[in-house]
Amino acid sequence: MTVLCAPTKLDPPIASFLARHGQAAAQVSALPGDASARRYFRLTDTGLLLMDDRTDPVGFAAFLRLARHLSSLGLSAPRVVGVDPAVGLALIEDFGTATYGNLLTSGHDETELYELAIDALVHLHSQPTAIEVTVPAYDRPVLLEEVSRFSHWFVPAFRPDLDATVFDARFSRLWDTAFAPLDEQLNALVLRDFHIDNLMLLTDRQGVARCGLLDFQDGVIGAGEYDLMSLLQDARRDLAPGLEQAMLDRYLTAIPDRCGSKDEILHRYHLLAAQRHTRLAGQFLRLCKRDGKPGYLTFMPRVIRQMQTALEAANLYEITDFIDQTLPGWRDAGPAFSRMNT
């Protein structure tokens, strides 16, 4: 949500919505999209964005609900200043262009930004009322459905001669066993996409409110380590050497004892990392083949490396052995998939 395109010709529902909210004369420019169908437009010099989520009424309602909830917890979610829930349009606060991604590209201190994000997570995970919001559970069936994307998209792309359904039957059984320790950990609000493209630095605010939150409409109740891992094991970039461990130490020092022991937290962290990277290895191929978005294949070498590391760190030896035996050579497949984007 940082680079402006040309001024946008508005369709009638958007033009009517803007007129009803006193913005008929605003100059509107589209912002680049992401993996979703949701669209954003900047209203120049108004401090506002137009969010167009007409294709996903459930996600639209979740955004409104979670924006209010996160703000009530003392975190910075965009303020909603106008909304038409029947249509799926909203005017929301524009946090500007200082995303973590932009700041890091321009040379901003990496440690400072990550410390702020960790402090925001600690703040979120320390508040018992954080889970008092109506969102789905991020439970074992959901985790299994997600990880099966590896079976249904990576496997056919890598081994088209293999029966992906047969592969998934065994694969899912192994993951089902691995996920069992998470059954009792539905105790945190998980924002799901907690990474540098969805975090902003708000220099006019104080404390954890300086960390602006974006794209949290897919929030769920699950294990809090998911967002921690999403931040520190980003598919889009490598962290400076030692930064992941330093931020883990910062989190572990500050998080309340009720969240578990250090060993328990780290096990969940590595387990969820293995799940996420395995899912993304399939999901990026799905985005390419089903949705016509090959750009995500650029990240495949990193994701496959992260998947290998996380499987080992989580002691998921049976899963690793099964993949190695069934898909020999998968560990080196990243560059070939990445070249599909050229």
pLDDT at residue number 50? 96
pLDDT at residue number 258? 86
CATH code 3.30.310.10 for 12-93: no
Q: Give the percent of the chain with pLDDT over 70.
A: 96
Query: Could you give the angle at which helices 243-254 and 110-125 cross, rounded to 10 degrees?
Result: 30
pLDDT at residue number 71? 98
Element (DSSP H or E) covering residue 176: helix 164-178
CA distance 95 to 98: 8
In terms of C-beta density within 10 A (0-12 exposed, 13-18 middle, 19 or more buried), how is residue 278 classed? buried
How large is the average pLDDT for residues 177-198? 94
How large is the average pLDDT for residues 47-71? 95
pLDDT at residue number 195? 95
CA distances from 98 to 34, 81, 135, 239 (A): 17, 21, 29, 19
pLDDT at residue number 17? 93
- Residue 37 in this model has a pLDDT that exceeds 80: no
- Residue 35 in this model has a pLDDT that exceeds 80: no
- Residue 65 in this model has a pLDDT that exceeds 80: yes
List the strands of the sheet with 89-93, edge to edge.
28-30, 39-43, 48-52, 89-93, 80-84
Which pair of tokens denotes residue 72? 């009530």
**Domain 100-339 top-level CATH class:** alpha beta
| Domain boundaries along the sequence of the chain | 12-93, 100-339
Is the Cβ–Cβ distance between 274 and 314 less than 8 Å? yes
- Residue 6 in this model has a pLDDT that exceeds 90: no
How large is the average pLDDT for residues 113-129? 98
One-letter amino acid at 7 equals: P
Where does the pLDDT of residue 2 fall: very low under 50, low under 70, confident under 90, or very high at 90 and above?
very low
What are 240-298's pLDDT values in tens digits? Answer: 999 999 999 999 999 988 888 999 999 999 999 999 999 999 999 999 999 999 999 99
- Residue 210 in this model has a pLDDT that exceeds 80: yes
- Residue 3 in this model has a pLDDT that exceeds 60: no
